Amino acid sequence: MDRKLFFQAIGKLLLGFVLVGALLFIPAGTLRYPDAWLLIAILFVPMFLAGLVMLFKAPELLRKRLSARESEGEQKQVVALSGLMFLASFVLAGLNFRFGWITAPRALVWTAAAVFLLGYALFAEVLRENAYLSRTIEVQEDQEVVDTGLYGVVRHPMYAATLLLFLSMPLVLGSPLSFAVMLLYLPIISKRIRNEEKVLEEGLKGYREYKTRVKYRLIPGIW
């Protein structure tokens, strides 16, 4: 086991835990926010387990995902907008709990938690299928087009998984208001996908042909 990589991953995990907790519990004004603890559990426990699997099975993929930084100006803008969206959504969820503005039904909260875990499972499958998967928009050395499994259904299954994850998060938190904010992810991810496909068409052999075989980018039958 790569001890340096292990501590790097644990450090990122703990930082994420502290940041998410602060964004939720400080606006809520209390630690007695059950839906926030539910989100933290279903977010960080699978993340920890997936990190352990990658640490032993695919350490280079884990290292790449931990160290990646966007270099393209357009993608830096997308990342910044996504960060602001999450900040607003989480803070609003905490305030919504504190002041009791609009509360989601319990059945919706638990359904959203199940959808979130489904999104995690799809994300894990994408990681298994695509060894070239990166957090940044890039064409890697010796990269080949992956067109099997979920990549035979849509061209960007990783983003399809994140769509389920991100849109279910605010509902797990019991906040329809935060869900409305998170809908901004739709134009943000559309912008990212269009830019990514431009980069892949220019730098990845066979990607144009792949686009003719797999028609849909994100949602089968829709887009």
Q: In the chain, what is the greatest distance between 2 CA atoms, to the nearest angstrom? A: 54
Q: Which of 144, 146, 151 is nearest to 122 (CA)?
A: 151
Q: In the predicted model, what is the mean pLDDT of the chain?
A: 88
Residue 68's pLDDT is what?
Answer: 61
Residue 207's pLDDT is what?
Answer: 87
Q: Which residue has the tokens 């839906």?
A: 35
Residues 172-192: tens digit of each pLDDT: 999 999 999 999 999 999 988
Residue 51's pLDDT is what?
Answer: 84
**pLDDT tier, 18 (very low <50, low <70, confident <90, very high otherwise):** very high
| Separation of alpha carbons 80 and 52, rounded Å | 28
Query: Is the model's pLDDT at 47 over the cut of 70?
Result: yes
> In this predicted model, which residue has the larger pLDDT, 54 or 168?
168
| Separation of alpha carbons 144 and 205, rounded Å | 7
Residues 58-86: tens digit of each pLDDT: 787 777 777 766 555 666 777 888 889 99
| Whole-structure pTM value | 0.88
DSSP state of 136: S
Distances (CA, A) of 21 to 74, 115, 200: 30, 21, 37
Residue 140's pLDDT is what?
Answer: 56
Considering the domain delimited by 3-213, tell me its CATH architecture: Up-down Bundle (1.20)
Residue 66's pLDDT is what?
Answer: 73
